[in-house]
Every structure is written in C-alpha cells, then in structure tokens.
Structure 1
Amino acid sequence: MVSVYALEKLIAETRRLATEFRRTTGQMLPVTGEIARFDAARELDLELLEPRVPGVDAIGKDSRKDRRYQIKGRVIQDEGKAGYRIGQMNPNGDWTHVALVLLDGDFEAFKIYEADRDEILTALSRSSGKRSKRGAMSVAKFEAIGQLVWTRENGLEDEVWSNY
C-alpha cells in the first residue's frame, strides 16, 4: 500500500505531467478521474474504496458517514465557456451521492459540488436526448441541482450553498 505522502507526491507529479502534455500536444491525458478521486477524498474526508466497487468510488466519514460516493471530475479551462459535460454516471451502482470535482487548466481542484442520488436521477429522467439516457449531464446542470461543498479559497463551506 502506498503511503498518503507518497500518493500526494505522485498526484502532484501527475498534475504537472498532464498540464505539460496538454500544453505541448493540445490533448488531454486520461488522468482527470484519478486526480478527482484523490482530491474529493482529501478535501471531503472520504475513504477511497480499494478494491473498487462498481458505481462507488468512496465512502463518507464523520459528517458524511453512511454516504457512498461516485466521484466525477472535469477540467474547466474557460469558466465562461458553456457546454462542459460530465462523464457517464452508473445509475445501477450502490451509490447515494455524486461528488463533482472541477479542476482548472493545471489540474488543480477549485470547486467540489455534491448531489444526492434522487436529485441526479430526477434530473436525468427530466432531460431529453441520448446523453441523459446514458447517465451523462452538463456541468451547469450538476451545479444547478447540487450543492457547493468545497472551494479552493475557503475549503469546506460552513454553510452549504444550494442552487434551488
């Protein structure tokens, strides 16, 4: 098992390499999900599951105990640009919440949103189109139904912001 310190160093190096690769080639390395898992676990005090369980990346501790998380990540290079999408969510998994980690162009987390299963499934059922049927939604939609629970500037939000 890798120590937390060693993993933190590996993730930092992965951020650096992914940023340099994108700047050099214009392409993204497929590491966003792993970085998002690490950041969500660290910032929200979650325990990552190893071995992995289908549809569940982590379980909550303390104030989040009894929650099972599916963790999604998205690099946002231009916050003013619309159309960013989240990867497919597993509607059949044994998860209770989804954490969405938004990363900047340097693969550093700047916001984390959280939504519960009912909110996600209701939003997906109300959406039309092939993507929503496959469990995908836009970042903007997730921000609208979810709660902002962490920011780079403030850490864990004292009062959870709801967009309802």
Structure 2
Amino acid sequence: MGIYAAKELISQARNLAANYRRTVGRPLPGISNEIAEYDAICLLGLQAVEDKSLGYDALDPRNGERIQIKSRALFDEAKGGARIGQLKMNQDWDAVVLVLMDENYQPMEIYQARRDELEEYINQTSPNRAKRGALSVARFKIIGELRWTRENGLAGEQWENRA
C-alpha cells in the first residue's frame, strides 16, 4: 500500500476537504466520492472493485450484489433539494449505497436502495430525469433502507423508511 495507511490518508482528505470548503466557499471536486467509497466499504463490510468501468464500486460478500456508491456532503441540512450524482442506468449493478456526510466529511448515515425500486421511481418521472438517472437525497431516503448511522452503527434489523 505504500508508506501511508488508507485510513490515515482518508482522515487527511476529510480535513483537507473541510478546510478547502471553509476557505474557498465551495467543495473540493471529486473528494467526497473517494471518502464515501472508503466509508461504505469499511462500515458495511463491502469489497472494493478495482475496475470502475464495470459500473459499480463494490461487491457485497454476503450476497454478491454489485453496488454503486454515491455520496452527498450536507453543509446546511435546512436547505432542501440536495441531489445525488447520476446513476449509471446503462450498466449492470444491483443496488446503490448513499453515504451522507456532515460538513467535516464524516459519515452520518448510509442508505441502500435496490435497482428495481430506483428504476421504478425514475421511470415514473420526466424522461429527461430518467435519462440522467437524477434523484434527490430525500427521495433516495424514502426509496431506500437505512443501513448505518453514526449513533447506532449497522442497522441490525433494517427498517424501511416508507409511509
């Protein structure tokens, strides 16, 4: 792995990203996904995939599911309308994990949604949104299941966040 352990590098990346945002006023591009991928793999017990061209970032060793990992740093939770990155709808994957982080790029919650549920919602919305695989954080939380929280760790009994 080299001189540094991944855990230490991720810790430094969190600090750099938070300080950058506080200084410059905008997020450091691309860093939240790297941090979220590390967190999801460690906290959920996933296996990293080296070849990102496959359309997924990790495998779940319990069931072999192919997982896309998405992230969103929430700097002002009072502001609504936060969106997640584009889903790779044209590639093979089974589920998406969304890592929600605070202003210090520390994980707060991790949600997981299955492909069929995401496709069902996206196909019911506008054709342009479906084509882009666009989705809000709020909608993802409704569709998905809470898998991990900062306060409680792994969800023993996964509950569904549906009305």
TM-score normalised by length of structure 2: 0.93
Q: SS in structure 1 opposite 2:138?
A: helix
Identify unmatched segments of 5+ residues in structure 1: none
- The equivalences for 1:107-118 within 5 A come to 107-118=105-116
Aligned equivalents of 2:128, 2:116: Cα separation in 1:
20
Q: Give the match for residue 105 of structure 1.
A: 103
**1:10 partnered with 2:9:** yes
Quote the offset at 1:81 in angstroms. 1.8
Q: Distance in 1 between matches of 2:61 and 2:53?
A: 17
The superposition leaves residues 37-82 of structure 1 with CA deviations (integer Å, 9 ceiling, x where unpaired) of: 10000011001101323311000023xx221100000001122221
Aligned match of 2:88 in 75, 87, 90? 90
Which 4+ stretches in 1 moved above 4 angstroms?
none
The DSSP-based 3-state class of the residue aligned with 2:97 is strand
Cα distance, 1:129 vs. partner?
Answer: 5.8
| Alpha-carbon separation, structure 1, partners of 2:137 and 2:152 | 21
Q: Give identity over the alignment, percent.
A: 47
Aligned residues: 161
1:68 to 41, 66, 81: 66
More strand by share: 1
* 2:23 aligned counterpart, secondary structure: helix
Q: What does 1:124-163 correspond to in 2, within 5 Å?
A: 124-128=122-126, 130-163=128-161
Distance 1:56 1:114 in 2: 14
* Structure 1 partner of 2:25: 26
**Residue 43 of structure 1 aligns to a residue in which SS?**
helix
What is the TM-score normalised by the length of structure 1? Answer: 0.93
